[in-house]
Amino acid sequence: MSSSKDPCSSAASSRGNWGSKLGFILAAGGSAVGLGNLWKFPYLAYSNGGGAGDQQGAGGFVLIYLLAVLVLGLPIMIAEMMLGKRTQTTPIGAFESVRPHSLWKHVGTLCVITGFLLLSYYSVIAGWTVEYTVKSVTSEFSNYDQAVSEEMVREQLWHDFVYSSEGEAALIIELGQKPESLSKALTDPKLNTLKQVVTDQEWKRLQQNEEGQAKLSELKKTLYPQKLFSEFIAHPWKQVLWAFVFLAMTVGVVIGGVSKGIERWSKILMPALFVLLIVLLGRMLMLDGAGKALSFLFRPSFEMVTASTVLNAMGQAFFSLSLGMGVLITYGSYMKKEDNLVSSSYSVVIMDTLIALIASVIIFSAIFSYNLVMKDGGTGNLFTAMPVIFMKLPGGILLCAAFYILVIFAALTSAISMLEAVVATFVDEFKWSRKKAVYIISAVTFVLGIPAALSYNLMSNVTIMGKTWIDFADFLCSNWFMPIGGLMLSLFVGFVFTKKDQREELPEAHCKWFPFPLFRVLVRYIAPVLVVVVLLGMLFGAIQ
């Protein structure tokens, strides 16, 4: 390494360090664990697994995701932390200090651009959790009775019929053959008459007696959250307002200096999140749909796997582990010389993956137990499936509020680290004061976030490559920028760092669970080649 300073020795005192190893792991874990685990992973599993119907499964997606985490995520995480730990500075400076006046520093620039874009739409989704906390506290979920229309009930009755064995037989008679897919049959105009007849009959049956009435009210309880959610995202100003509120909370933490704040808060929030998730998991496993949820998620099934499943799994691994954006360079720069990169990375990766899987089991148990139909590929499932359960459990309102508050905290620890990485870079590179950097950067982010907030309403018709702005921004960040950032990082650490540099950061004593030669092969060849293959596949349109 041609660095002029010996960073590991001097900088420790001036830049501050993590108070403890656990503190670092929880802070890096706090960055990793966020909406990616609680919202995005379950929804990707839902859409890549073919939705709830049709007896497909997400097992293939989950398996590919686990592989991506091990083969790409772990080595790139170690590489990213290593760069920060060794240079003790933020993304742009880290490259600059090792290879001054080279193009490498623009990998840092890419990290910064990704940070802006990511935080801009992340705040919008995080804003939803703020609205949902308010909704649960004001018990908005209990107004289901008048709110759900007959038409919505009929749609659900039709869905239940199509997916029943009786329905399957009727569809075959009506169409003269087995329908190609049950989800398509739901909206097939050829089935309109059958739909009318069936739903008329069922609707009448539900009106008839008390038992029917009770069933109807159950049905409305499951439908109401969907209605609430569609109405909510159709509301432009609420979207902008909550994104603003969330961003303001993030600013509030980062402005006060994060090193102490983050660590202290992470130590409280992360264990609380974990405990609540375990409690919920226990409760959910008692529901009827739990078995189906487990088999949907974990039965190895490759019917649904396509090239884009691989792309989605890889993008999600980068997203969920907060890789390729320079956050771990920044966090790594606060590590001490003797800290162990391997065990820290393992801890973060295991924590992050476990939480994504637990969240999925919880959400899918709800979906399958109540036969919920998730619209739009399940984008809203954290917001539409969870209230259904909470409405039915004793003390549900409290649990519901607690749940969404914890989702806010998970999102907040992630957002803090995004803002911190960008702010720290501006402070280091342009010598801005922290205050100035925080205000200017968050203002720009807020403005960038407005089209994301309007993507589900005023701007839902404005599309780029067939995607609304928020989907496009996420596509750019998760599927392009983060993988490219990660690719460059692994090449940089793999080839620009000498073997001796790497060895100093990964001494034998730390490498029990991750042999040094394996690290070298992964970071120099396997991870870069895999990322390049997937990126080329995307570029040439083989992967959508």
Which residue bears the tokens 């073997």? Answer: 499
Please classify residue 415 by burial: count the beta carbons closer than 10 Å to its beta carbon, then call 0-12 exposed, 13-18 middle and 19+ buried.
Answer: buried
CB of 534 to ligand TRP, least distance (A): 18
From residue 18 to residue 37, the character string flagging contacts with ligand TRP as x (rule: CB under 6 A) and all else as - is -------------xx-xxxx
What are φ and ψ of residue 126, in 5° steps?
-60, -35
What are the E-state strand segments in 97-225? none
Nearer CB in complex with ligand TRP: 386/410: 410
Site string for ligand TRP, 310-329 (x = CB under 6 A): ---------xx-x--x-x--
Asked if 163 and 53 count as a contact pair (C-beta separation under 8 A), the reply is: yes
Q: Which is nearer to ligand TRP, 477 or 522 (CB)?
A: 477
Comparing every residue's Cβ against ligand TRP, the nearest one is 36
Strand partners, 463: 468
Cβ distance to ligand TRP smaller for residue 309 or 413: 413
Binding mask 390-429 for ligand TRP (x = CB under 6 A): ------------------------x--xx-----------
In the complex, minimum distance from the CB of residue 325 to ligand TRP, in angstroms, rounded to a whole number:
4
Reduced to 3 states (helix: H, G, I; strand: E, B; else coil), residue 138 is: coil
Q: Within positions 260 to 319, which residues make up the interface with ligand TRP, using CB under 6 A?
A: 319
536 vs 541: CA distance, rounded Å: 8
360 binds ligand TRP (CB under 6 A): no
> Which of 193, 202, 163 minimizes the C-alpha distance to 181?
163
Closer by beta carbon to ligand TRP, 236 or else 261: 261
Residue nearer to ligand TRP on the CB measure, 35 or 488: 35
Give the whole-angstrom CA distance, residue 50 versus residue 182: 11
CB atoms within 10 A of CB 71: 16
Q: How far apart are CA 315 and CA 305, in angstroms?
A: 15
Q: How far is the CB of 427 from ligand TRP (least distance, A)?
A: 17
- Report whether 81 contacts 334 (CB < 8 A): no
Judged by CB, which is closer to ligand TRP: 36, or 42? 36
The alpha carbon of residue 3 and the mean position of all alpha carbons in its chain are separated, in whole angstroms, by 36
Taking the complex as a whole, the smallest distance from the CB of residue 460 to ligand TRP amounts, in Å, to 24
What part of residues 35-54 is at the interface with ligand TRP (CB under 6 A)? 35-37
DSSP 343-372: HHHHHHHHHHHHHHHHHHHHHHHHHHHTTP
- Is 487:525 a contact under the CB 8 Å cutoff? no
The residues near 39 (Cβ < 8 Å, ≥ 6 apart) are 125, 381, 382, 407
Q: Cβ of residue 411: shortest distance to ligand TRP, in angstroms? A: 7
User: Shortest Cβ distance from residue 407 to ligand TRP (Å)?
Assistant: 10
Asked whether 183 and 52 are in contact (CB, 8 A), the reply is no
- Closer residue to ligand TRP, CB minimum distance, 155 or 474: 474
**For ligand TRP, which is the closer residue by CB, 129 or 502?**
129
In the complex with ligand TRP, which residue's Cβ is closer, 324 or 494? 324
**At its nearest, how many Å lie between ligand TRP and the CB of residue 281?**
19
Residues in binding contact with ligand TRP, number by CB under 6 A: 15
> Of 185, 141, 198, which is closest to residue 51 (Cα–Cα)?
185
The residues binding ligand TRP (CB under 6 A) are: 31-32, 34-37, 118, 319-320, 322, 325, 327, 414, 417-418
